[in-house]
Structure 1
């Protein structure tokens, strides 16, 4: 990720609609798939960035993180998080079958994903779960992806194949960030054209009322995702079991 993007994320992700809505989705699915009231669950968050998702993950167990950026770890420490270590997801320095849950939120697109999935499979206990979010659809590639140093975007079927090859069994597969797909698609397509394409993340600062409205739409979507799967969205969501 470009250096300046860490600061932008740190400044915006507490309240920005995309990040807030995504946390609602993460929390809703963790509530559905993790054992009730089991605070001893060992959770490993990969590519944890500035650590904002620890706000949600800490409700479900004992959370540790891995990131390959010292900047990311410094921002985590600003949030009071001291359980993140410097490391490479493709070569995790974690004992075999030692973790109950792995979360990989918008990280696989940065990596040799098949190597990373095998590494995740190795560290998970038998019966453990991996929760994955990743950007959807290669046709939406834009300067946003380049600024974040993405290597690819995904389809659900592609991620399913890669998880299966790594040994996982699929529990849930869906697109998400679906309610807001149309405006995001139009914006991304516009910014990917000709001279309008720039290597910068597509944070568009909205009026507070509109930001709040988008958050509430994604909160509704989060509830629906616990009961059904969407066939289109800006991100893909997969939950798989070892």
Structure 2
């Protein structure tokens, strides 16, 4: 992204409704997935490290970002294992992490399949990747131009890129659904304003944060219950690195859950004890 957009992101990722809402969605998905005891987690494209604060609830965290300013901000938050680097060339050994998150980063890279393959390299067999991307190429606007995006996605294009990179697709869902209509209208209007030079971060004043975050709060609750949202401004996919010598299972096996994490703690040992070798299974289904 441009220097101005980076500064806007670093200034707003703590309070802006979009970042706050996306973190809620991320937590809702993580809480539905079986995780290894004391997992290692990587946030690829970690920005200022605010998402690392959330991931630290689950295990040991590492981060990487292209911007030295962002990495310095993450260090100030107390995250020591955060490095400057490219997501296409991660400075970590093979099979290091149980969980990788890559939030609104893949669309910034020229070759998304190569990027997803590199993220797969550092995931352990049976490890998970949670990736978010902007949805619908038809909504391409100055927001994408300013942020130096290469593409937007639909479910089929993201799944195809993931499979080509060697991932199994556990499941996907849209989010930021309730604001899709208004945002689409804004994007169409932007195409007629050739002098627009900023992304959407500057369109909503801070005083509206609470109101604009409400839809994402609701959506996070729906996702936590197992609901898949069929449309929205963003797309989230859960991918899994196939385990060695493992028979291929239905893609939705890990996507199924029986509710919030605290209801599953008594059974967690039976689910998580084999995540390292990829033999984990979900034990219930979404209605």
State TM-score, norm by structure 1: 0.93
Counterparts of 1:1-242 in structure 2, within 5 Å, are: 1-35=1-35, 38=37, 40-111=38-109, 112-195=111-194, 198-203=196-201, 204-206=203-205, 208=207, 210-226=208-224, 227-242=226-241
Summarize deviations over 1:64-88 as a string: whole Å, max 9, x none. 0111221221222333333210112
3-state SS of 1:198 partner: coil
The runs of 5 or more residues in structure 1 that have no matched partner are: none
State how far apart, in whole Å, the 1-side matches of 2:192 and 2:138 are: 12
- Are 1:6 and 1:50, in contact at CA under 8 Å, matched by a contact in 2? no
Residues 187 and 16 (structure 1 numbering): CA distance in 2 closer, same or farther, change over 3 Å?
same
3-state SS of 1:74 partner: helix
State how far apart, in whole Å, the 1-side matches of 2:99 and 2:222 are: 23
State how far apart, in whole Å, the 2-side matches of 1:47 and 1:218 are: 22
What is the root-mean-square deviation in Å for CA atoms of aligned residues? 1.6
Q: For this pair of structures, how many residues does the alignment match?
A: 238
- Are 1:131 and 1:238, in contact at CA under 8 Å, matched by a contact in 2? yes
3-state SS of 2:58 partner: coil
State how far apart, in whole Å, the 2-side matches of 1:205 and 1:179 are: 16
State how far apart, in whole Å, the 1-side matches of 2:189 and 2:48 are: 29
Q: CA deviation at 1:12?
A: 1.6
- Are 2:176 and 2:233, in contact at CA under 8 Å, matched by a contact in 1? yes
- Are 2:62 and 2:79, in contact at CA under 8 Å, matched by a contact in 1? no
3-state SS of 2:200 partner: coil
3-state SS of 1:122 partner: helix
State how far apart, in whole Å, the 1-side matches of 2:206 and 2:66 are: 34
The runs of 5 or more residues in structure 2 that have no matched partner are: 242-287
Could you say which structure has the larger radius of gyration? Answer: 2
- Are 2:176 and 2:215, in contact at CA under 8 Å, matched by a contact in 1? no
State how far apart, in whole Å, the 2-side matches of 1:153 and 1:137 are: 6
State how far apart, in whole Å, the 2-side matches of 1:53 and 1:98 are: 19
3-state SS of 1:125 partner: strand
- Are 1:70 and 1:86, in contact at CA under 8 Å, matched by a contact in 2? yes
Summarize deviations over 1:20-62 as a string: whole Å, max 9, x none. 11110011111111438x3x11001101112221121111111
State how far apart, in whole Å, the 2-side matches of 1:207 and 1:11 are: 12
Summarize deviations over 1:207-235 as a string: whole Å, max 9, x none. 63x42122122111011123121121101
State how far apart, in whole Å, the 2-side matches of 1:11 and 1:88 are: 22
State how far apart, in whole Å, the 2-side matches of 1:206 and 1:15 are: 11
State how far apart, in whole Å, the 2-side matches of 1:194 and 1:211 are: 25
3-state SS of 1:89 partner: coil
State TM-score, norm by structure 2: 0.79
